[in-house]
Structure 1
Amino acid sequence: TPVREALLRLQGEGLVSREKGWVVESTDAASIDHVFESRVAIEGYATHVAALRATPADIRELRGLAEEMDGFEAMGRAQLNLLNRRFHERIVGLSGNPFFVEMHERTQFHYWNMRLPVLFTREQAVVANEEHKRIVDALEARDPDAAERHARAHVETTHRIVRDALDG
């Protein structure tokens, strides 16, 4: 029963379908665009709200994550992905809105489920982390509009990198 319920939930989210048994759905370009459109909306506004609610300790934690990501060349891809995921999850969590957290988890699930074979170049990784730092600066300045603008730009940058890698 628990497995059947899990499969039905995955079917409801469009990740599997039922034909002559259960089949994992393939990922198409439109799905990638939909995930990133969702991330822009959710992370953008969650960052806006986080700018109003983050404490100095929260800002220090985020700045520490960004500084740790500066050392990306000395760490494995899995470590960098973990730090990046923690950074984004923490900001969404700072919004204090459980619906944002739930929606963000869903977009992240779909994103990682796509198993996108994209490796950022050194330059792209540097730019991405500079964007992280701009987000933290806006949070620290308690500027919700700038925080949202930087968060949206960051997700859009990642979207372009992924699309270019898959199209090229």
Structure 2
Amino acid sequence: TPVREALLRLQGEGLVSREKGWVVESTDPSNMDAIFESRIAIEGYATRLAATRVTDADITELAALVDEMARFEQMNRAQLNQLNRTFHRRIIEMAGNPFFLEMHEKTLFYYWNMRLPVIFTKDQTQEANDQHKVILSALAEHRADAAEEAAREHVRTTHRIVKDALEGF
């Protein structure tokens, strides 16, 4: 019963459909701009709130993730993606708003469900890591405006990278 209820909820949200069984719906690539606009809004404001609520222990945890991501050349892409997801999820959690977390997870589902053939270059990955440091610094100093703008710029950068990569296809 709980699985059936979960599937019905996902169907109501347009994430799965029922044909000869349950099928995960693919995300239309034309929705990419809307997905990133949503991420900019959610992650930006959540990072603003996190800057006002973050603890020293939170900063230590985020700094460890940033340090680990700095060694990206020594890990596979899946490991780096997991660290990146954890970094962003923790910031959303630090905002203290469970609705932001739910909305963030939904935008990520749509993003990953597009199965975009985008691999970040070494320079792009380094840029993302540098942006993580800026976000971390603003959070550590409880600078809400700077934290929000750094998070927004980080998502805008990812959006540009994905958009540029897709123009080649």
TM-score (norm 2): 0.90
Residues in 2 aligned to 1:67 and 1:85: alpha-carbon distance in whole angstroms: 15
2: CA distance, partners of 1:117 / 1:95: 31
One-letter code aligned to 1:131:
Q
Work out the CA distance in 2 between the residues paired with 1:14 and 1:21.
15
Counterpart position of 2:53: 53
CA root-mean-square deviation: 1.8
Contact kept in structure 1, 2:28 and 2:114, CA below 8 Å: no
Aligned-pair identity in percent equals 68
Shift of 1:18: 4.8
| 2:127 aligned with 1:127 | yes
Could you say which residue in structure 1 is the equivalent of 2:65? 65
Residue 77 of structure 1 is matched in structure 2 by 77
* Deviation sequence 1:69-113 (CA, Å, 0-9, x none): 011111011100010000000000001111111111211222222
Q: Is 1:100 the counterpart of 2:100 in the alignment?
A: yes
Say which is worse superposed, 104-113 or 156-165, in terms of deviation.
104-113
Are 1:11 and 2:11 counterparts? yes
Q: Which residue of 2 aligns with 1:112?
A: 112
**Partner of residue 38, structure 2:** 38
Q: Distance in 1 between matches of 2:21 and 2:80?
A: 37
Contact 2:50 2:91 in 1 (8 A): yes
Determine whether 1:147 maps to 2:147.
yes
Which secondary structure does the structure 2 equivalent of 1:88 belong to?
A: helix
**Deviating more after overlay: 19-28 vs 75-84:** 19-28
What displacement does 1:115 show? Answer: 2.2
Q: Under a length normalisation based on structure 1, what TM-score does the superposition of the two structures give?
A: 0.91
Gaps of 5+ in 2: none
